Amino acid sequence: MSTSGAELAQQELIEDFEIFDNWMDRYQYIIDMGKQLTDFPDEWKIEELKIQGCQSNVWMRHEEQGDKLIFKATSDAAIVSGLIAILLRIYSERTAAEIRATEPHFLADLGLDKHLSPTRSNGLHSMLERIYLVAQQK
C-alpha cells in the first residue's frame, strides 16, 4: 500500500520539528510558517466562512480543482496562522477520500496536543472538523 501525500506531509512536518530542541523554537517555527500563508482577501472574511470555537478570528474557505479540495484560511493571531499553515500543508490539495483517510497523528507526534493552550487546541480541532466536514460532503 502506498503512502498518501497527506501522510507524507505529516511525516515531513514531524521531521522538520525534530531539529528544534525546545518549544520556544518550535513556537517560532509555527509562527514563521503562518507568515507564509497565501493572501486571504477581506471579502472572504465573512461570517459564513468563520470558524466557530476559535478564540481568535479564523476564516476558512475551500474550492475544488478537479478531484482535489484546495483550502485557504487566515487568522488575526500569529500562532493560529501557523497552525493553519500546518493544517493546509497536510490537508489542502488532496482528494476528499484522502482527507477522510488521514488521521491527524501529527498532533500527538509533535506534542501539540500537550503544548497548546486549551483555547488554541479547541480552535485547532474546530479547523480540523471543518476540513473533515467539507471532505465528507464530497
The amino acid occupying position 124 is: L
Cell of 25: 523554537
Is 54 marked active-site?
yes
Sheet with strand 58-65: strands edge to edge: 58-65, 68-75, 94-95
- 48-65 in b/e burial notation, b at 16+ Cβ within 10 A? ebebeebebebbbbbeee
Of 9, 33, 51, 54, the active-site residue reads: 54
CA distances from 60 to 6, 8, 31, 44, 131 (A): 19, 23, 18, 8, 9
Which helix or strand (DSSP H or E) is residue 99 part of?
helix 96-101
Which residues are known catalytic residues? Answer: 54
